[in-house]
Structure 1
Amino acid sequence: MFNALSLLIGLVALPFALVGIIPFPFVPLVNWIAFPIALTGTVVGMLSRGAAGRNLNLLILIISGARLMLTGGFI
């Protein structure tokens, strides 16, 4: 049950992370929305036996976190 919930949370965070990759001004600020959603999904995924939801959310965390780190968290 937790794995399905984690996958659902990851599918909500994924569009935000993908839009946040676009290098137009102020669009990467969307990563500030994707990061906490994916963090929540990762925590929920750690409570499950399956690994698919956790891994999806970890991938989103890496994508949005790297983008935030490379741009100083702003643009």
Structure 2
Amino acid sequence: MGLISLLWGIVALLWMILALIPLLGWGNWFLIPFAAVGALIAAIGLLFTRSEKNGRAKAGLLLNAIVIVVGVVRLGIGGGVI
């Protein structure tokens, strides 16, 4: 689960970088739920792994959380949230 959430977070991060380009900001509407699913997978991974082996899940959770925050801020700045 940790590896899946980490890879999910990397894909979300690449998508976020693409959505930062003007006129591609509409991608944030799809990016935020995508990253939320990755964060949910990471949270499940944290629950079901031992504390010695949950580093990937923590990294995936952090990466997906950063992507969600940047996506919400980007929508707020660009006027996407009315």
* TM bracket, shorter-chain basis: 0.7 to 0.9
Structure-2-length-normalised TM-score: 0.76
Aligned position for 1:27: 24
The structure richer in helix per residue is 2
What is the RMSD of the two structures over their aligned residues, measured on CA atoms?
A: 1.4
- Which structure 1 segments of 5+ residues have no match? none
Partner of 1:63: 70
> Partner of 1:48 in structure 2?
45
* 1:7-51 CA distance string (max 9 Å, x none): 1111221121111112x2x31111112111100000111112331
* Amino acid in structure 2 at the alignment position of 1:70: I
Query: Which residue does the alignment assign to 2:51?
Result: none
Partner SS, residue 45 of structure 2: coil
**Structure number, greater radius of gyration:** 2
TM-score (norm 1): 0.82
Runs of 4+ in 1 over 2 A off after TM superposition: none
Q: Secondary structure at the match of 1:47?
A: helix
**Kept in 2: contact 1:10–1:37 (CA 8 A):** no
Provide the rounded CA distance (Å) in 1 between the counterparts of 2:77 and 2:43.
Answer: 27
Partner amino acid, structure 2, of 1:41: G
Q: Which runs of 5+ in 2 are unaligned?
A: 47-53
- The residue type paired with residue 38 of structure 2 is G
Tell me which amino acid in the other structure corresponds to 1:57.
N
Identity %: 30
